[in-house]
Amino acid sequence: MALLELAIGFFVLAIIAGALGAGGVAGMSMGIAKWLVIAFLVLAVVSLVL
């Protein structure tokens, strides 16, 4: 569950940074959030299968 919480946190950070005009920070935060969600989904599927 920690991965999902981190992903949500980075997503919120990206929205706030984008609203304040910091495009680089927003893009980087969205990239991190995307990879954390993918990692969460992969681990969730693996734990369900095994």
Encode the chain (50 residues) as per-residue pLDDT tens digits.
687 788 888 888 888 888 888 878 888 888 888 888 898 889 889 999 98
Report pTM.
0.71
Predicted pLDDT of residue 46: 92
| Residue-level length of the chain | 50
CA 17 from centre of chain: 14
Measure the CA–CA gap between 3 and 7, rounded to whole angstroms: 6
Provide the 8-state DSSP code for 50: -
Please report, as a single letter, which amino acid is at residue 22.
A
Measure the CA–CA gap between 44 and 34, rounded to whole angstroms: 15
Predicted pLDDT of residue 1: 66
